[in-house]
Amino acid sequence: MSATSESGFPIKADYVTTGERPGEYPFTRGIYEEMYLRKPWTMRQYAGFGSAKESNERYHQLVNAGTGGLSVAFDLPTQMGFDSDAEQSLGEVGRVGVAIDSLDDMRELFKGIPLDKVSTSMTINAPAAILLLMYEIVAAEQGVASDQISGTIQNDILKEYISRGTYIFPPKSSMRLICDVFEYCSANLPKWNSISVSGYHMAEAGANPVQEVAFTLSNAIAYLEAAKSRGQNIEQVASRMSFFFVSRTTVLEEVAKFRAARQVWAKIIKERFGISSERAMHLRFHTQTAGVQLTAAQPELNLVRVTLQAVAAVLGGTQSLHTNSFDEALGLPTEKAALLALRTQQVIAYESDLARTVDALAGSAAVEAMTNELVDAIEKLITKVDELGGAVAGVEAGFQKSEIEKNAYRISQEIERKDRVIVGVNEFVSPPQPYQPLRVD
């Protein structure tokens, strides 16, 4: 696809003429040669609250507004395997996601949503197998064959022990269930990503970019080794493995982080596992803008923060993107705020020139230097996890969790001392203005 600048000059697909090319090993510059030249990234907005009916209404709003994929947020009882009427669920039903207790709830959630045309991501881990089966049944009732539905199940239990806590069983028992999902998807759901190995939640808990990537890739190594011990085809498993990262406002480092992550993962697949398939080497990832950077003070400033974060994700070569709503630090996003979040992506995709050339920051002295520094630091931290006996052993020893907590404390101290400026919070503070968040009764 050719493009022309505002001055009338042709925009080249790639401005770097020497060295590594996009779509070539180790994929530092992108996993595809053309990246966004033919079509932009998938705009996948994360939503779910209250009942299945209420969430279904929001999904229809998003689909009608032009989103290309849905991402389901489940409430904590669903994530922990509790019914909504369980004693443990009191006060949590529908609070941070949609409550799904039965197949009827799943039917209501996707009522009127054509599952052969919409790709769906489900952020669910401990009970992933059950929720995936419900989704498959609903698709079948729509007349959509299992081999035609596409999407992703998070199914990443290790990061739950590290940063979130929504697990049911001990690590080793949970790993068996993860591999069960791999096996089922390989046999029945060829277009489905059987895991989304997530650094996002670790980053939100306080991990720095090196920790975010290194601990994520260490977890991915553990999943592949577990699949291998089960006699599964790890090339096939790796080919359907996806990843999930955060995007912060520090644009240059975030772009370098995504480039470094692709390079390190490709080397792991080729050198550690001896897999020659390029698809298996591809680090395909979804990005969500950093919710932890959003502020309740002067919430409109979050529109600027989210835009910077989205620009970093696009320049870093994400495959899909969720942009947070500016009012999420206050409560559930309003319909207007959710629409603005989606429109932010659409403006970047269709009004800017960021998607008209591949890896636009390649050759930048800053980005190239940062990429190399991050590659080195990520590989060293992965080696440290290996020396502990791998990701599962590290989880059992509390290593990753402890390292993230130390970094989170460092960040909080920097904000407290004003070494890290947060506009509207510790500098450039304005009198608070009333704001009415969305209420769901």
Instruction: Please tell me the total count of domains within the chain.
Output: 1
Both tokens of 80, joined, read 């922990």
Q: What predicted TM-score, i.e. pTM, was given to this entire model?
A: 0.95
| pLDDT tier, 440 (very low <50, low <70, confident <90, very high otherwise) | low
Average pLDDT over residues 16-44: 95
Q: Is residue 87 part of a domain?
A: no
Lowest mean pLDDT among 113-117, 379-383, 411-415: 113-117
Residue 98 is predicted with a pLDDT of 96
Lowest mean pLDDT among 246-255, 260-269, 325-334, 375-384: 325-334
HSE-up of residue 84 (Cα within 13 Å, Cβ side): 15
Residue 441 is predicted with a pLDDT of 59
Give the domain extent around 294.
Answer: 3-39+154-417
Residue 47 is predicted with a pLDDT of 82
Average pLDDT over residues 200-206: 98
Residue 50, strand partner residues: 98
Query: What CA–CA distance (Å, rounded) separates 270 from 260?
Result: 16
Residue 2 is predicted with a pLDDT of 59
What mean pLDDT value characterizes the chain? 96
**Which H, E and C letters describe 219-261, residue by residue?**
HHHHHHHHHHHCCCCHHHHHHCEEEEEEECCCHHHHHHHHHHH
How buried is 274 (Cβ within 10 angstroms: 0-12 exposed, 13-18 middle, 19+ buried)?
exposed
**Tell me, what CATH number does 285's domain have?**
3.20.20.240
CB atoms inside a 10 Å sphere around CB 82? 20
Report CA 2 to chain centroid distance, whole Å.
30
Answer whether residue 281 shows pLDDT above 90. Answer: yes
Q: Is residue 81 part of a domain?
A: no
The predicted-structure confidence for 43-99, as pLDDT tens digits, reads as follows 988 888 889 999 999 999 989 988 878 989 999 999 999 999 999 999 999 998 999
The predicted-structure confidence for 221-250, as pLDDT tens digits, reads as follows 999 999 999 999 999 999 999 999 999 999
Residue 436 is predicted with a pLDDT of 72
Q: Is residue 114 part of a domain?
A: no
Q: Is residue 168 part of a domain?
A: yes
429: left (phi over 0), alpha (psi -120 to 50) or beta: beta
Query: What CA–CA distance (Å, rounded) separates 359 from 356?
Result: 10
Residue 373 is predicted with a pLDDT of 99
Answer whether residue 261 shows pLDDT above 70. Answer: yes
DSSP 355-398: GGSSSTTTT-HHHHHHHHHHHHHHHHHHHHHHHTTSHHHHHHHT
Q: Is residue 29 part of a domain?
A: yes
Residue 421 is predicted with a pLDDT of 98
Q: Is residue 301 part of a domain?
A: yes
Q: Is residue 50 part of a domain?
A: no
Residue 50 is predicted with a pLDDT of 87
Q: Is residue 110 part of a domain?
A: no
Average pLDDT over residues 302-318: 99
Is the separation of the CB atoms in 84 and 93 below 8 Å? yes
Position 29, amino acid = R
Residue 439 is predicted with a pLDDT of 67
